[in-house]
């Protein structure tokens, strides 16, 4: 079963990867939660620098 995809360009949702507007649809679900977050350090650094 496929996940629903969201177009990065126009914001529409569909199951197809290519959008009618010419943009590409990407997975709209957030990554799975993990206590051992491999990239948490980098997300926090980015968030702190871009306040």
40 domain-assigned: no
Task: Write out the residue range of the structural domain in which residue 4 sits.
Answer: 1-27
Domain membership of residue 3 (yes or no) is: yes
Total domains, the chain: 1
Residue 50 lies in a domain: no
Q: What is the pLDDT of residue 35?
A: 81
* Tens of pLDDT, residues 1-51: 478 899 988 989 988 889 989 889 988 887 777 888 888 888 889 988 887
50: Cβ contacts below 8 Å, ≥ 6 apart:
none
Please enumerate in sequence order all residues whose Cβ is within 8 A of that of 15, keeping only pairs 6 or more positions apart, or say none. Answer: 2, 4, 5
Count other Cβ atoms within 10 Å, centred on residue 6.
17
Q: Residue 1: its pLDDT value, please?
A: 46
CA dihedral 30, 23, 19, 6 (to 10 degrees): 10
């Amino acid at each position: 079963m496929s996940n629903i995809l969201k177009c990065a360009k126009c914001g529409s949702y569909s199951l197809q990867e290519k959008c009618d507007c010419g943009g590409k649809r990407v997975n709209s679900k957030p990554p799975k939660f993990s206590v051992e977050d491999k990239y948490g350090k980098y997300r926090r650094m980015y968030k702190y620098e871009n306040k």
